[in-house]
Copies of this chain bind each other. A is one copy, B any other.
């Protein structure tokens, strides 16, 4: 199998896993389950659960307690998109080629759908205590990382500064801060949780965090590059949205050429750190490079 075939195969497996972890549509509140599924099963690259699973295997993990965490990290990523798209935030009508939640279900339900997905992420991750009760402390450590990297010292923190900075001239340090928190933090959580649940040492988890930071930053800069270079058809969302929203990005700041160079440089560093940690995982190495050089 080629890398692309393996990757597609893993996406299919993760989609199936997410389907299993979607709450059944039942009860008076079935509309919210419907809206959660609408977003959770909308496709997507599934890179966060995939990275988590690959790192888990890299460190010798074999149990199914990784699965609720794989579902949880995708739920958190998904809720952040639902709330990002709201009229009071980016006010986007389309996402992944489909109408956004507030367009389909109304603004009140879109707020509740985001809340529900965030809450359900922790509800789902917490089922791991039943799958591996003897590993409860390690599962607790994974929950600490998940909640920290998703919150005000991670993704939400980045989002706050991003919102506050729109339309303003910001310095390089602030831009870097936004990228690290808004995008890299959740990728750090994905890879760190894979390592933690597999029993990696604190030192190993720290190296994984560093690798993930580089992956996350490159991933975001590549996103900015695609927003300028790609087409709406390929991306499934409007291009030039940064320009439209008057957002300063690495590309508007340094230019396309320099941005491309930085992505190259950081991805090389990430792969070389991964090799020094563990010499032989070809798929993960290829995955990192694919994410960074992707076309959508």
Contact = CB atoms under 8 A, between A and B. Distances in A.
Given A108-B163, A112-B160, A157-B29, A136 B147 contact: no
User: Could you say how many copies of this chain the assembly holds?
Assistant: 2
A137 interface: yes
A133 B129 contact: no
Contact of A140 (B79, B115, B120, B126): B126
B88 A107 contact: yes
Contact of A32 (B33, B122, B152): B152
Contacts of A151: 116, 119-120, 123
Nearest to A164: B31
Given A152-B29, A157-B32, A143 B122 contact: yes
B88 A160 contact: no
A205 interface: no
A57 interface: no
A32 B89 contact: no
Contacts of A28: 157, 161, 174, 177
A274 interface: no
A247 interface: no
Nearest to A139: B140
Indicate the member of A119, A139, A174, A181 with the most B CB atoms within 10 Å: A119
Nearest to A36: B152
Contact of A136 (B137, B150, B159): B137
A57 to B, nearest CB: 24
Contacts of A143: 122, 126, 129, 143
Interface in A127-164: 127-129, 133, 136-137, 139-141, 143-144, 147-148, 150-152, 156-161, 163-164
Nearest to A35: B160
The prevalent SS among residues of A at the interface is helix
Contacts of A77: none
A83 to B, nearest CB: 6
Interface in A19-55: 23, 27-29, 31-33, 36
Given A29-B157, A112-B159, A122-B122, A137 B147 contact: no
Given A29-B161, A83-B112, A115-B118, 20 more contacts: A29-B181, A83-B111, A89-B111, A112-B156, A116-B151, A116-B160, A118-B119, A119-B150, A119-B152, A119-B156, A120-B152, A122-B122, A122-B147, A123-B144, A126-B140, A128-B140, A133-B140, A136-B136, A136-B137, A143-B143
25 contacts: A28-B157, A28-B161, A28-B174, A29-B152, A31-B160, A32-B156, A83-B115, A86-B111, A88-B107, A88-B111, A111-B111, A112-B156, A116-B160, A118-B118, A119-B147, A119-B150, A119-B156, A120-B152, A122-B143, A122-B147, A123-B147, A126-B144, A129-B140, A136-B139, A143-B143
